[in-house]
Chains A and B, each alone.
Chain A
Amino acid sequence: MTMLSRTAENLFWMTRYMERAETMARLLEVGYRIALMPSAGAGHQNDWASILAAAGGAAAFASRYGETTPATVESFLFFDRENTSSVANCISRARDNARVVRTAVTSEVWDALNGAFQDMKAFERRGPGRADLMTLCDWTKRQTALLRGAIENTQLQQDGYDFMNLGYYIERADNTARMLDVKYYVLLPVTDRVGGGIDNYQWTTLLRAMSVFRAFHWAYGGDYTPGKIAHFLILNKSCPRSLIHCAEQANYHLARLSRAYGQRTKPHQTARTMLAELADADIDAIVLSGLHEFLTDHIRRTAKLGSEIADTYLFGGG
């Protein structure tokens, strides 16, 4: 069992792009909720800015749109073809990746991607502002869920499946860490003005952006505290978007590949180390020694893991 490196590369990026599309949709959804807040004032502008920062396109946005309004942000994050991370771009890139390796994906997986692409083209023909934002966000999440389901239910659980999952979890770890980093200050004890309405809103925003708002209550019950939220999103294995969950899954799929190919690999070693460190970590210690530094470091290490995977598998030696 082995496959062309280019095939593995396409599968890896196919899922990465779809995960990114979902992240963008979630960020848009959060922005939309903020816009509904009464008298948000300067804080309102600030939140849009942090959403754009989390989406990684603040500078590009400023130079092309200027004013931050729900309409301009929607345009930028959903439709804009110049924005490499827009939902429209992510979906068509994911579909392109699948198209060139058609024989490596099942027809259900292809249908899910091709269907999303065809719908997307219809949205584009109608142009921004025609469908309401929540509909677009819901639609995006439904498409990504459809793909995930198609992968789980129809793909052979072999190396190709592992590369798809690595794409998902590498991208998700990166996205979670970035979103946390943009808002890290609200999780710091210094800004822990418990009971403050705005802060409360900031935390819930973060949880909503990760679609784990209700899950948090099930896991922790009671009130939000910055410590609990940070723990949930970084160190709680049961949270599907937490950094440790992503590390665990990446490690699992790399271990499967190592076994299947009978090779010991550098990325597997890296993932194992990352997982072990997260398992031993203590949230208070992380906050104490610098949450921002921790997150920046995690983003860097995730990127390094990604390039080790590329070096080991996706370029195929030679």
Chain B
Amino acid sequence: MATIDTHSHTAVAHHDEHGHDHAHHGNFWTNYVFSEDHKVIAKQFLITGMAWALIGGALSVIFRLQLGFPESNLSWLKPILGGWLTPEGKIDPEFYLALVTMHGTIMVFFVLTAGLSGTFSNFLIPLQVGARDMASGFMNMLSYWFFFLSSCIMFTSLFISTGPAAGGWVIYPPLSALPQAISGSGLGMTLWLVSMALFIVSSLLGSINYITTVINMRTLGMSFTKLPLTIWAFFLTAVIGILSFPVLFAAALLLIFDRSFGTSFYLSDIYIGGEALPNQGGSPILFQHLFWFLGHPEVYIVLLPALGITSEIIATNSRKPIFGYKAMVGSMLFIAILSFVVWAHHMFVTGMNPFLGSIFTLLTLIIAVPSAVKIFNYVTTLWKGNIHFTPAMLFSIGLVSFFLTGGITGIVLGNSALDIQLHDTYFIVAHFHLVMGSASFFGMVAGIYHWFPKMFGRMMNAKLGYLHFWFTFVGVYMVFFPMHYIGIAGFPRRYYSWTNFETFSGFADLNFVITIAAILTLAAQFIFLFNFIYSIFRGRLAPANPWNSNTLEWTTPRHPQHGNWPGEIPTVYRWPYDYSKPGAKEDFIPQHIPFSETPESNLPHENEEIKLEGMGAAIIVEEKH
């Protein structure tokens, strides 16, 4: 094994020399636009993701205005919304659905999949496993540009006259298949499908690269058991993505056939717009199975990277090893596997066989166990730590809090008998926005604060970070916590207004509070945006290792060039969580410090490994000659 590692190591080192030449002679286009450098690509993903997050957030505030102030006149939004406002200054009910749909699509795919995985897998995998770059820089570049193209198409769809897709982000046919049913299912839906197809290509190109890099390009000594939890998370996320995204691709393809070529995969027995359609024999439920076969793993594609990032940040800033490294890896692995066999819990009330419902209830509640283990491990990591509240740490604690608050109601929703009443109410909206949306968003923001010094060579302003955190943390709770009450009261989601129903006539006060909180939360993001842009140019210069962290990326210079390390890639000797080790001089020992240099803090079995360290070096020398 060691020999193989060395091989790849020297091979990459070789490649690096080319890379250096390239960087020196490259022009603006090859350096910053069509770059093959993983760090530049990561920043491209990050900035595109942030732009999408603002759009997605703004859309949600617009529809929250409708729900929080149902009586108000919104004609001041006319310059932005134009014909989507009714003459009375109300949002058009169909546009309301388009807003909800695009908010979901943008946030789930463009922000929390591409923006999160795309940024941090790209940035951190080579830096933390000790590689010069991704396995294929070219594919990596393609991955971004496919995403960019997909973004452009999705963005365009916001401006067409029939409106963007409006059948919910889950795009269930027949609604999404029939332009007669809703105008968003015309050109808007076509663009949605094309955009998603390109997005899937982008995601697959990225994932293949992440997996290959993690498996093949780890530096000498970086065994899987020494990988930081971030890398484990990105690795498993990529595996989940590769196995599930093609299924969404298939689902979308069949939907395209149904829409444009007269097939009947999802359509049967439909009478609409005064005519009976010829389609027979298809099943809309088939689409739901295919969609959720991706859709559920997608939840973990969004969440696992955030959990990985958090593990790293919490350990670093608690100055403590992450509690239960093996249990953390094990639970992520278990979650990754189980994520493929719980999809039908989104479909308890579709009329599928009740026996299937029982099976999926059982499997769904099993997945709660590793999730609970992760929460307990985070809390134990804080215990008797020495906690530095950097903005990244604040957001990580916020993530754990959301993961707890949102996750625990999963126990209710996963139980099919209880889901009957709560399905498609605000209870589920509260649940997934906390456990997946907000938690992952906080993971992403925490990651930006934590790795900003390595990305841009400067520090972000901490105090603005605190301000941003407290507004966002409280704001998000004020938005989503009240939704539990509204959900228990039975309020259905995706409703433009509830005034038609006596049953749903209450809670105008809570809806008002939620909308105010949503506006404040969005406003707080501009503090972050300012801090981000300001710090890129004017931030305090960052030291090489500002957080006294153990992982390899902090051994690179302040501005890592193409190839990451100016000299040789460091060799790894220990796991990444040697914080506050008894006997050690400092409260951290980076991964590249051999045990032979730290006799005062070694555990008995680590002293044994000192002998192996010499052997590893001998192999390197042999290979070089």
Whether A associates with B in a native complex is no
**Which B residues lie at the A interface, using CB under 8 A?**
none
Q: Which residues of chain A have a CB within 8 Å of any CB of chain B?
A: none
